[in-house]
Chain A
């Protein structure tokens, strides 16, 4: 029972970490390797808001999500736009931005146990005799809410449908008068804001440390590769596969195998089915 409850919590946590990354890649084919850095930056900004500026929890959190979203947009608008369409350069440039953010935070003194975010509602309840704290239940609720919200958004709203169209064939969308750079700006903004949401619900369970930024990036990449790049359904399924695998290793082996599981999942996927669980094959390129 313990494995099931904590497996679900861990899986939803992974999904939360990965959704922003998947969203940006899904819409704009842009691998945002600064994703983990935005996650930690969001945690730090929320901490500054609550602890240093005394702005109150709600204000700090909302402001953090907003600011990180804007920073994501700015990163695309001023940096990534120059290397758009060159995947290796996109990875290097966004990873460099991430390195800059994370190491700047370390240099500012972000280390050790001093930086923590408060839980929203303290306390623990027993689910099937397994103790679960409210914050972990909140993680599951918010994760499910975001997934449901994104699903409804892309299924029933016109902007969502348009974004889905663009995700399927960006060049065709450009030919139909859609500015792909504007859409990529929106996508990186949304993706970064999702990283901030994930940070705010997940970070109270641990400390805000630079290393977690790198770890979140690894988890997000693992989930996306196993699920099939750009596929949301695949990402969610992959979160559950990797999430439960991690919990099983924690129960039967040792806890520091979590990252190993994620990396192993990447390797196995690349050997067995390189396009991932739900990866679509590339359409034939237009003949020149």
Chain B
């Protein structure tokens, strides 16, 4: 990672739902090429933060700067067009379409066309290439199966594959590891490292701390919508406020 190249800069981001302060004055920096982990107990505002950055919901206050340009409040498709794409916590593939055809939606987007991800007629091949890169055996029947028939492990990969179809700069993975077995996660980890090596920057929102800490370069911890701690995985794990947030008061030893 490149500590002197901030790619995404979030400053003073806040969002209230009714009387609930979902995200409160959160600031953070994402450096080019790193994997940034975001952790926090249930309801701590992780997904809301992701939704704010990706334009899913509009912030009440604060700014999100991508390469110096304020993109807070932009519509989602414009943000995706800049190369900031996300996966969904509860996977959202197009269930009635075959796996490779799931990539046709993103491959038809303006960004994919601009980035040269295949012309008319080549897009099926491009889709199969991306799926192969992400672990769908090319000569098997798996890429041709309907998404509704795929097991969770493949659906998670399909979420990533749809992001890759846009040649993204930043992938925001919302609980990519949830619902997967330890061995499935073990097979995803090298894949993410490979993508990072290929120049993609990651924000990973996770509950599976051990796996995340082996991957992430830096970690941010949230609780009740505020940032309580930031640092290397080791530092965050040792932080008493983080332990308290996860284990409750008195569980800090």
Interface bits B69-81 vs A (CB < 8 Å: 1, else 0): 0000001110011
B120 neighbours in A (Cβ, 8 Å): 158
Chain A residues with a Cβ closer than 8 Å to the other chain, count: 24
Residues of B within 8 A of A (CB): 17, 22, 47-48, 51, 54, 56, 75-77, 80-81, 85-86, 88-90, 92, 94-97, 101-102, 104-106, 108-112, 120, 123, 162-163, 165-166
In chain A, positions 140-177 with a C-beta closer than 8 Å to chain B are: 158-159, 161-162, 164-166, 168-169, 171-177
**Quick check: A178 and B77 within 8 Å, CB to CB?**
yes
CA distance A162 to B108 in the complex (A): 7
B111 neighbours in A (Cβ, 8 Å): 177
Most buried by B among A158, A159, A164: A158
**Quick check: A158 and B88 within 8 Å, CB to CB?**
no
**Quick check: B162 and A176 within 8 Å, CB to CB?**
yes
B88 neighbours in A (Cβ, 8 Å): 172, 175, 286
Chain B residue, CB-CB nearest to A165: B105
B97 neighbours in A (Cβ, 8 Å): 161, 164-165, 168
- Indicate whether A253 reaches chain B with its CB closer than 8 angstroms: no
B80 neighbours in A (Cβ, 8 Å): 174-177
Chain B residue, CB-CB nearest to A179: B77
Q: Tell me if A's interface is mostly helix, strand, loop or mixed.
A: helix
Residues of A within 8 A of B (CB): 158-159, 161-162, 164-166, 168-169, 171-180, 283-284, 286-288
Kindly identify which residue among A159, A171, A286, A288 contacts B108, using a CB–CB cutoff of 8 Å: A159
CA distance A165 to B22 in the complex (A): 31
List 21 A–B pairs whose Cβ atoms lie within 8 Å, in order of A's numbering: A158-B104, A161-B97, A164-B97, A165-B94, A168-B94, A168-B96, A173-B105, A174-B77, A175-B88, A176-B85, A176-B165, A176-B166, A177-B80, A177-B85, A177-B106, A177-B166, A178-B108, A179-B75, A179-B77, A286-B89, A287-B47
**Quick check: A176 and B109 within 8 Å, CB to CB?**
yes
Besides A175-B56, A175-B86, A179-B110, 12 other CB < 8 A contacts? A161-B104, A165-B94, A165-B97, A165-B102, A175-B85, A176-B109, A177-B80, A177-B106, A284-B90, A288-B22, A288-B47, A288-B48
